[in-house]
Chains A and B, each alone.
Chain A
Amino acid sequence: AQTVTQSQPEMSVQEAETVTLSCTYDTSESDYYLFWYKQPPSRQMILVIRQEAYKQQNATENRFSVNFQKAAKSFSLKISDSQLGDAAMYFCAYGSNYKLTFGKGTLLTVNP
């Protein structure tokens, strides 16, 4: 079974600074997807970014980018120019056969 590990239960960042959230996963599959979802206090899950495992190029969405290291099974999220609205729980997720396996989450606090 696939497992997703987020080793940082909590992180904090100053507004306008950069923060990196860590995620590692374990799988024996070669074809899969990786995701970062954000869950703000409203508890609505919002897709932040997606990475296809077969792509070597790291995905980027505006201020959000990933560092995907397939051999190391690592998938970190970098948030640049952090904003107060970025404060949320961030979940790393592994996707295969249309199912998602989530990590335990990292609670991100943004300090003004």
Chain B
Amino acid sequence: GAVVSQHPSWVICKSGTSVKIECRSLDFQATTMFWYRQFPKQSLMLMATSNEGSKATYEQGVEKDKFLINHASLTLSTLTVTSAHPEDSSFYICSGRSGRDGNIQYFGAGTRLSVL
């Protein structure tokens, strides 16, 4: 299957600072990338969908000014958590889908964010 790289795998930051998470599709062009949030022992909740060169579409209840998503190329999407607070601590996972088999999403390994 296709490979999605997510970096960093774990980040600790101070409250009030911003953190950027990168998601790269290594061997395919990701027409669309998705960002999920997963709380401990819970399911994945879709936060936003981004298409290359377009503004991201956020799910209901997700603050777009707090979670900034940029999808500047077909292989790179970034999620920036701005002015992070302890309640933003979570596991964030990205995925990408290609134009060839658009119904399959390939997932990154996730990023654990801890806000102190």
Contact = CB atoms under 8 A, between A and B. Distances in A.
A99 interface: yes
Given A42-B109, A98-B32, A98-B97, A47 B1 contact: yes
Contacts of B76: none
Contacts of B103: 33, 50, 95, 98
B69 interface: no
A104 B32 contact: no
A110 to B, nearest CB: 19
Nearest to A9: B41
A36 to B, nearest CB: 12
Contact of A102 (B44, B49, B102): B44
B105 to A, nearest CB: 6
A13 to B, nearest CB: 20
B46 A99 contact: yes
Interface residues of B, number: 21
Main SS class of interface, B: strand
B75 interface: no
A100 B6 CA distance: 19
Interface string A79-112: 0000000000001000100111111110000000
Interface in B88-116: 91, 93, 95, 97, 102-107, 109-110
A47 B24 CA distance: 18
B107 A103 contact: no
Contacts of B34: 99-100
